Amino acid sequence: MSDYKLGLEYAKHQDQNDKLASYRNQFHIPKDKQGNDLIYMTGNSLGLQPKITKTYVNQELEDWAILGVEGHTEAKNPWLPYHELLTESMAKVVGAKPIEVIVMNTLTANLHFMMVSFYKPTKKRYKILIESDAFPSDKYAVESQLRHHGFDDKDGLVLWKPRKGEELLRHEDLESILKEQGEEIALIMIGGVNYYTGQFFDLKRITELGHKHECIVGFDCAHGAGNVQLNLHDSGADFAVWCTYKYLNSGPGSLAGCFVHERHANRKDLNRFTGWWSHNKQTRFNMRDEFDQLPGAEGWQLSNPPILSMAAIRASLDIFNDVGIDKLVEKSKKLTGYFEFLLKKLGEDVIRIITPKNDDERGCQLSIQVINTDKALHDKLTKSGIISDWREPDVIRCAPVPLYNSFEDIYNLVERLKAILNG
């Protein structure tokens, strides 16, 4: 969509014709001290709370109060199989089959559990490849896995770097790395959408390339789940992990998601850490049986999950089910494109967008560099009622989330930015 126009009336007209506009009313929008809605642009860090979340969580609190332990089987939504209520909806969001998806643990914990199974280093093939500017937690995690297996965490880490003077990564450079070092690389672990630049990688291309060189391929989709079309099954990736508190609006520190491709569903030869929740459901409570592993992603569970967190996730996923990821991505592209259009009108000598221009290579996040400024600009934006995100050394991240952000939000954000820059 390239026929964007200037002016508040245009923004209001787009909102009036937006079929998803009413979903904004299903979320709590943070307000300033005067009671006015803030312009919330940090769904890439913490999504807003759906208004139905309290009802979903309260249902479990009430059942716990009334039923006690019997809630495991007698609650309105029995707790024993509660995670199964999330599986199909989550699979739709990330483009997977239900057998490939499980909601469990937290993001970096899941990444470690996946590496227990899929990082199988040998003396010759032991290296792990990541983006040079991967999310710090991912880097720390893979370094610790290298050390755990007795390898040097600097020698064993292969970094996919942007070219000099560039911020974005090129897939052909990844091809060159694998051509040179492919026989030494055991695992490729990439952030599906880079947290800093907002670049959405071609997951299928990376997977096919990795598999061609006999590498295991996994993705951290924390900034992709609920934001872009991940199509994890079709990508062929061996595994993926993601959190649910960003675009999936499940609340701070909520449970994470995990994908294991169905070709691994019945593999009992894979090393893994196990617990009673990955054991056969029919005999789980016999207590003294030998371990009988569940097939699919469920077979990586350890413990019975926190139901209150799952209730919050279910509330959000019910909204995603209602809208559909296709429609969300369609609106996201229009909203983000409009944002890009207005920013460019400020002049490229003032604003630089480091996120890819191609809307198939990004989600709703735009990472902005403002020339000749520092964090003071971000602080002024915050004081003007805009909740955005500062990332060192010089980037402001803004994510117009299609579920609850509007075209008028975008218009007002850029107008306030313009006023600050002209002030």
Here the contacts of 321-329 (C-beta below 8 Å, separation 24 or greater) are 321/89, 321/92, 323/20, 323/23, 323/403, 324/92, 325/92, 325/93, 325/95, 325/226, 325/229, 326/229, 327/19, 327/20, 328/20, 328/226, 328/402, 328/403, 329/228, 329/229, 329/402
How far is the C-alpha of 191 from the C-alpha of 194, rounded, in Å?
Answer: 5
How far is the C-alpha of 396 from the C-alpha of 368, rounded, in Å?
Answer: 5
Could you tell me which of 216, 215, 209, 125 has the C-alpha nearest to residue 172?
Answer: 209
Q: Are residues 412 and 276 part of one domain?
A: no
256-260 and 239-243 strand pairing? antiparallel
Q: Are residues 164 and 31 part of one domain?
A: no
84: number of Cβ within 10 Å: 14
How far is the C-alpha of 305 from the C-alpha of 89, rounded, in Å?
Answer: 18
Domain that holds residue 379: 8-44+325-422
Is residue 52 a part of any domain in this protein?
A: no
Under 8 Å between Cβ of 96 and 262: no
Reduced to 3 states (helix: H, G, I; strand: E, B; else coil), residue 37 is strand
Looking at residue 2, what is its pLDDT?
A: 65
Give how far Cα 139 sits from Cα of 156, 159, 244, Å: 12, 10, 20
How far is the C-alpha of 113 from the C-alpha of 199, rounded, in Å?
Answer: 26
How far is the C-alpha of 408 from the C-alpha of 11, rounded, in Å?
Answer: 5
Q: Are residues 283 and 146 part of one domain?
A: yes
Is residue 49 a part of any domain in this protein?
A: no
Q: Are residues 22 and 164 part of one domain?
A: no
How far is the C-alpha of 360 from the C-alpha of 423, rounded, in Å?
Answer: 36
Which residues make Cβ contacts (< 8 Å) with residue 120, sequence separation at least 6? 186, 216, 271
Q: Are residues 131 and 32 part of one domain?
A: no
The dihedral through the CA atoms of 318, 322, 323, 325 has a sign that is positive
How far is the C-alpha of 295 from the C-alpha of 275, rounded, in Å?
Answer: 14
Is residue 2 a part of any domain in this protein?
A: no
How far is the C-alpha of 255 from the C-alpha of 107, rounded, in Å?
Answer: 8
How far is the C-alpha of 237 from the C-alpha of 187, rounded, in Å?
Answer: 11
Domain final residue, candidates 322, 353, 381: 322
How far is the C-alpha of 68 from the C-alpha of 56, rounded, in Å?
Answer: 17
Is residue 1 a part of any domain in this protein?
A: no
Could you tell me which of 240, 259, 220 has the C-alpha nearest to residue 140?
Answer: 220
Is residue 127 a part of any domain in this protein?
A: yes
Residue type, 413: L
Residue type, 291: F
Burial of 263: CB neighbours in 10 Å, binned 0-12, 13-18, 19+:
exposed
Domain final residue, candidates 275, 302, 322: 322
Cross-strand partners of 370? 351
pTM metric for this prediction? 0.96
Is residue 77 a part of any domain in this protein?
A: yes
Q: Are residues 105 and 20 part of one domain?
A: no
Q: Are residues 248 and 174 part of one domain?
A: yes
> Token match 């990439």: residue?
190
207: number of Cβ within 10 Å: 24
DSSP 292: -
Domain final residue, candidates 289, 322, 355: 322
Q: Are residues 74 and 40 part of one domain?
A: no
Is residue 265 a part of any domain in this protein?
A: yes
How far is the C-alpha of 350 from the C-alpha of 331, rounded, in Å?
Answer: 27
Buried b (16+ CB within 10 A) or exposed e, 40-71: bbbbbbbbbbbebbeebbebbeebbeeeeeeb
How far is the C-alpha of 414 from the C-alpha of 342, rounded, in Å?
Answer: 7
Identify the CATH number of the domain in which residue 99 sits: 3.40.640.10
Provide the angle, in degrees to the nearest 10, between the axes of the packed helices 136-148 and 107-118: 40
Q: Are residues 176 and 252 part of one domain?
A: yes
Identify the CATH number of the domain in which residue 336 sits: 3.90.1150.10
Is residue 237 a part of any domain in this protein?
A: yes
How far is the C-alpha of 5 from the C-alpha of 303, rounded, in Å?
Answer: 53
Q: Are residues 349 and 210 part of one domain?
A: no
Looking at residue 104, what is its pLDDT?
A: 97
pLDDT tens-place values along the chain, 423 residues long: 568 999 999 999 999 999 999 999 999 999 999 999 999 999 999 999 999 999 999 999 999 999 999 999 999 999 999 999 999 999 999 999 999 999 999 999 999 999 999 999 999 999 999 999 999 999 999 999 999 999 999 999 999 999 999 999 999 999 999 999 999 999 999 999 999 999 999 999 999 999 999 999 999 999 999 999 999 999 999 999 999 999 999 999 999 999 999 999 999 899 999 999 999 898 888 878 898 899 999 999 999 999 999 999 999 999 999 999 999 999 999 999 999 999 999 988 889 999 999 999 999 999 999 887 888 889 999 999 999 998 888 899 999 999 999 999 999 999 999 999 987
Residue type, 106: T
Could you tell me which of 18, 23, 85 has the C-alpha nearest to residue 48?
Answer: 23
Q: Are residues 248 and 357 part of one domain?
A: no
Q: Are residues 81 and 13 part of one domain?
A: no
Number of domains forming the structure of the chain? 2
